[in-house]
Structure 1
């Protein structure tokens, strides 16, 4: 991300800096990646971020694995999930490995506490809903079809304007724009499918000075640690740097088209350790008169493909509804279902809107994925022999 700043900061780092109202010395916090070698931001607090009134309970995060009897392509109908939980504990994981957790959240309420992920970055794709995220970096407005990227260490809470439905990603690694989109200075290149103008950091910094008890929930060491503070955690006077939350709307992704079919890397939006996130958007299709517009059959020899269907008509898949997942695991070829290629010949554009995650290590499934599984999908490429 590019350099950003909000609020009041001193002219130099690591110098005396005082609150204009009380003349008290402010507390400088350096939030950095890779020790002191990666990107960082510096925040100025009214109170020490180390200050804790009471240490609460630690609750382990338990993912119940489902080990299917068969290795097949899978379809998951997530729209069957009704509202439950809050904006943190309502996140339900469907697929996971050591690099990424992929899930759905349909919160029935806002969390009544602040949350901070202490050991991972988060991406929330807003399928439905709008609102704001109140963070230590300021207020971040979001709308339908936004990606919300929340770097680790960000204390925040959601405020909803309407009912919500999210696709969620968690990674112990770092969420970045793809390396090939950036020059050696980190600036996005001209051929990238987006520009820095499309990424939106917080726009308003509200400094909370009130005291009183405030609950913070921290994800760390495979669980949730609860704390009670005697001050409001969003007490930042100002900050600057390269680490901060931001939004990117999927409709600002500029899809690529070619004379012949463009492969999935043309749709890549983010990268993480051993996985990528891609945006499939409405676009013009191939213009060669002999072009086959639908994806060719391919074998995921070293990767697993998860596709989440957001809107529009996905021509290569029959019987897949909005809000569904398909999982095409490693070791199995997959491609358009029977009849879809012939039907697509000559089409000039597609209305599909989908989010894809390709992982380069096998995914495990949770028991929730079993509850929402459609076993008939594995047979959707089968046709009765002619004349049978």
Structure 2
């Protein structure tokens, strides 16, 4: 991520820095410097300047461990779930409904209908929220970030935030949590970290905060922090958004799927051509509307392949995904390791000669097996496992 600076900062790091009496703290008041960084002091970092110590607490509340209800199916098969049927409700954080998980990634569905009462900070992982439907504002210690439909909202760990969804819009989000770091793929960056000319996006497509909202307020402010596989509650007596300036490489931002520049080839390109983000043992890809393969003998659909080292999950966001039959917008497919998969019968013949596709799909591949949660069980479509066999009618739940 590129360097960004907002507000008032001193000329040098780690020096005395005082308020100016003009909105950046009382004149002469010594500000508190906070270094927020990855990998100890060796990774990307941002330095923030607070009016008060970010360690200040009024009350330590309770700790609630995260409870996960796993669904272990009786059979290992390809699966389809209809996320449209997942219930709405809750706030943007506690209302998330776990869909699947492993040690590297958790994926949840959120359809918030309530305001977020307090503030939240993920102390043990980065987050990505894909906004399938909805929009609003993410208010953070770095400043506000506006989000809209088809945005990926990337929130680095350690960010204190509060989602404010637009109450006039239906909200439907796919939420990712990883104990690792969300990054652009290594192959898109040069040795200095700048995105290369052949990357499917540029720094201009990433939108961080553009202004600060500095609060010098006393009161009662509730904060939850995800840490140690649970949620710790605190009460603060000062507003957490008391930053007068910051600079660095760590901050929340949005990237819209419509700004992904898809690649096409004379013959079919594999999924890495659509990669958008990387994390430890997983990738997130954007299958955007694009031109298709132009060789007269090209087959403009994915070839059959076996995920012998990965689990492939696809969320169908818009358009008509030609390789799948009976899969609607808002549905999710899981093609687990050990099983081949590809276009269903008739799809290849139907697609021959096509010159473009209007599909939009979000895919995540994990390189370790995924465990399913009860939400998938509740919306599983068992007939999908038989959809490659035109000679067999849908059968009972596998």
Normalising by structure 1, report the TM-score: 0.98
Cα distance in 2, alignment partners of residues 208 and 163 from structure 1: 30
Q: CA deviation at 1:163?
A: 2.5
Q: Deviations over 1:301-358 (max 9, x none)?
A: 0000000000000000000011110000000000000000000000000000010000
Cα distance in 1, alignment partners of residues 4 and 50 from structure 2: 18
Matched, 1:135 2:130: no
Q: CA deviation at 1:13?
A: 0.4
Match in the other structure for 1:178: 185
Q: CA deviation at 1:85?
A: 1.0
4+ long deviations beyond 2 Å: none
Matches within 5 A, 1:161-172: 161=166, 162-172=169-179
Match in the other structure for 1:30: 35
Match in the other structure for 1:125: 130
Matched, 1:94 2:105: no
Match of 1:50 among 39, 49, 55: 55
Match in the other structure for 1:197: 204
Matches within 5 A, 1:272-287: 272-287=279-294
Q: CA deviation at 1:81?
A: 1.5
Q: CA deviation at 1:165?
A: 0.8
Match of 1:152 among 157, 167, 170: 157
Match in the other structure for 1:318: 325
**Unaligned stretches of 5+ residues in structure 1:** none
Contact 2:311 2:367 in 1 (8 A): yes
Cα distance in 2, alignment partners of residues 330 and 337 from structure 1: 18
Matched, 1:260 2:267: yes
**Unaligned stretches of 5+ residues in structure 2:** 393-398
Q: Tell me the secondary structure at the aligned position of residue 330 of structure 1.
A: coil
Cα distance in 2, alignment partners of residues 132 and 7 from structure 1: 20
Cα distance in 1, alignment partners of residues 271 and 40 from structure 2: 34
Match in the other structure for 2:249: 242
Contact 2:100 2:372 in 1 (8 A): yes
Q: Tell me the secondary structure at the aligned position of residue 265 of structure 1.
A: helix
Cα distance in 2, alignment partners of residues 265 and 350 from structure 1: 18
Q: Deviations over 1:193-230 (max 9, x none)?
A: 00010001101101001110000000000000000000
Match of 1:76 among 75, 78, 81: 81
Q: Deviations over 1:101-158 (max 9, x none)?
A: 0111001112111000001000000001111110000010111100000000000001
Match in the other structure for 2:231: 224
Cα distance in 2, alignment partners of residues 102 and 139 from structure 1: 24
RMSD, aligned CA: 0.7
Match of 1:40 among 24, 45, 66: 45
Q: CA deviation at 1:292?
A: 0.2
Match in the other structure for 1:376: 383
Q: CA deviation at 1:83?
A: 1.3
Cα distance in 2, alignment partners of residues 52 and 332 from structure 1: 52
Q: CA deviation at 1:25?
A: 0.4
Q: Tell me the secondary structure at the aligned position of residue 138 of structure 1.
A: coil
Contact 2:86 2:375 in 1 (8 A): no
Cα distance in 2, alignment partners of residues 248 and 39 from structure 1: 19
Match in the other structure for 1:15: 15
Q: Tell me the secondary structure at the aligned position of residue 272 of structure 2.
A: helix
Match in the other structure for 1:340: 347
Cα distance in 2, alignment partners of residues 348 and 114 from structure 1: 48
Matched, 1:300 2:307: yes
Matched, 1:60 2:73: no
Q: Deviations over 1:337-380 (max 9, x none)?
A: 00000000000000000100000000000111100100000000
Match in the other structure for 1:355: 362
Count the aligned residue pairs.
Answer: 385
